[in-house]
C-alpha cells in the first residue's frame, strides 16, 4: 500500500493556488493538506521529494513562476515492458526534473478538487455570510426578525415618500436596507444560498480580497432589497439570493474578461440564469406554490454585472488571471 511522503512545508497563509493549478495541469501525483498549522505538499513517490525540492524552494522564494515551468512528455514505452511507470519528464527553465507516477496510481488519485480549495483565512467574509444565513433562519424560526425586515406597505396607491421604507429611514433604521438579506424562511432556503456563497463567493473573495468582496456584498444586498421592495412593496421578503445572483453576475463578467479563469465551473452561470428565468416566468410558483423574490434576483444579478465591469475596467481582472494567485 502506498503512503504519502512529505515533499515541502509551507506557512498556513501561503497562497498555493498557482502550485495547485500546476499540479492539476500535469496531473502530478501530489496533494496539498493542512497539518499542524502548515500546508504540506506530499507525494506517493518518494523520488519526487529530491526532484521537486529545488523547484519548490525557488518558487517559494519568488524566483520563478510555475506558469513559466513546462513539462515534456516522456516517450511512450515499448510493448512488453515490465515497468508500469514512465521515465521522468524534463523541466524547462533549468528547474530540474519531475517524475510522472504510473497510470494506475494516477487514475486513483484525486490530485485536484473540481473546485479549488482556499485557506479559511482567505475567505472570512464568505464564511461569515454562510453563518449569518443560518442565523437568520434560526431567528425567523423563533420570531426574532422584526427588527431586520422592511415592513410591508399598506394597501392603496404606493408612494415612496409615504412608504414604510421612508418611515424606517426617517427613524434612523438604515440597517434595514441590508438586513432582509440575512432572513431565510426555511432551512433549504438557507442551505441553497449558503452553497451559492461557498461555490461562488469564496473564489471571488480569495482572489479579489475581502474589502472589494465586502463592497460587492454590501452594494448588491442593498440593490437587490430595494429592487424587490419597489417591485412588491406589500410583500415581506428576505434571503441572500440577491447577493448570490450578484456573485453570478460578477462571475459572468470575469469569465469573459479572463477566459482562462477556472475557479468556478463554466456551466454554473448558464444554470443559474436558467433558474432565474424559470422563477421569473412564474413557473416555480405555478408548479410548486412557492413565492420567489424575482426582483431581488434580477436586481442582484444586474448589480453584480455592473460592479464587475467597473472592477475589471480599473484593472482588478488581473487578480483572476490563470497565472495569478489569490489576492
Write down the catalytic residue from 232, 297, 321, 324: 297
Write down the catalytic residue from 189, 241, 321, 324: 241
Please indicate whether residue 297 is annotated as part of the active site.
yes
**Are the C-beta atoms of 93 and 68 separated by less than 8 Å?**
yes
**Are the C-beta atoms of 106 and 194 separated by less than 8 Å?**
no
Chain center to CA of 19: 18
DSSP 127-160: HHHHHHHHHHHHHHHTT--TTTSPPPPPSS---G
Angle between helical axes of 268-280 and 294-313 (0-180°, round to 10): 140
Please indicate whether residue 49 is annotated as part of the active site.
no
Chain center to CA of 207: 9
Q: Give the Cα separation of 247 and 70 in Å (integer).
A: 34
Q: Give the Cα separation of 63 and 109 in Å (integer).
A: 30
**Are the C-beta atoms of 65 and 110 separated by less than 8 Å?**
no
**Are the C-beta atoms of 129 and 197 separated by less than 8 Å?**
yes
**Are the C-beta atoms of 88 and 51 separated by less than 8 Å?**
yes
Known catalytic residues are: 241, 297
Amino acid at each position: 500500500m502506498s503512503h504519502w511522503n512529505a515533499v515541502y512545508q509551507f506557512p498556513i497563509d501561503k497562497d498555493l493556488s498557482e502550485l495547485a493549478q500546476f499540479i492539476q495541469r500535469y496531473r502530478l501525483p501530489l496533494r496539498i493538506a493542512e497539518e499542524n498549522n502548515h500546508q504540506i505538499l506530499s507525494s506517493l513517490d518518494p523520488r519526487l521529494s529530491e526532484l521537486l525540492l529545488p523547484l519548490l524552494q525557488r518558487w517559494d522564494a519568488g524566483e520563478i513562476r510555475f506558469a513559466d515551468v513546462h513539462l515534456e512528455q516522456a516517450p511512450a514505452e515499448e510493448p512488453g515492458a515490465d515497468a508500469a511507470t514512465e521515465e521522468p519528464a524534463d523541466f524547462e527553465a533549468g528547474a530540474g526534473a519531475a517524475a510522472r507516477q504510473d497510470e494506475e496510481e494516477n487514475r486513483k488519485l484525486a490530485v485536484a478538487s473540481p473546485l479549488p480549495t482556499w485557506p479559511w483565512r482567505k475567505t472570512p467574509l464568505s464564511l461569515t455570510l454562510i453563518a449569518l444565513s443560518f442565523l437568520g433562519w434560526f431567528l425567523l424560526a423563533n420570531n426574532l426578525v422584526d427588527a431586520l425586515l422592511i415592513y410591508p406597505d399598506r394597501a392603496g396607491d404606493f408612494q415612496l415618500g409615504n412608504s414604510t421604507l421612508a418611515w424606517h429611514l426617517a427613524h434612523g433604521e438604515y440597517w434595514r436596507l441590508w438586513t432582509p438579506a440575512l432572513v431565510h424562511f426555511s432551512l433549504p432556503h438557507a442551505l441553497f444560498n449558503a452553497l451559492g456563497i461557498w461555490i461562488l463567493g469564496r473564489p471571488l473573495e480569495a482572489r479579489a480580497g475581502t474589502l472589494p468582496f465586502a463592497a460587492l456584498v454590501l452594494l448588491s444586498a442593498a440593490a437587490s432589497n430595494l429592487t424587490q421592495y419597489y417591485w412588491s412593496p406589500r410583500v415581506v421578503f428576505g434571503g441572500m439570493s440577491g447577493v448570490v445572483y450578484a456573485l453570478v453576475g460578477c462571475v459572468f463578467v470575469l469569465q469573459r474578461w479572463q477566459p482562462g479563469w477556472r475557479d468556478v465551473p463554466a456551466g454554473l452561470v448558464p444554470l443559474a440564469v436558467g433558474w432565474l428565468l424559470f422563477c421569473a416566468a412564474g413557473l416555480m410558483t405555478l408548479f410548486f406554490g412557492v413565492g420567489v423574490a424575482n426582483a431581488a434576483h434580477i436586481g442582484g444579478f444586474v448589480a453584480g454585472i455592473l460592479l464587475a465591469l467597473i472592477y475589471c475596467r480599473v484593472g482588478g481582472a488581473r487578480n483572476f488571471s490563470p497565472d495569478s494567485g489569490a489576492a
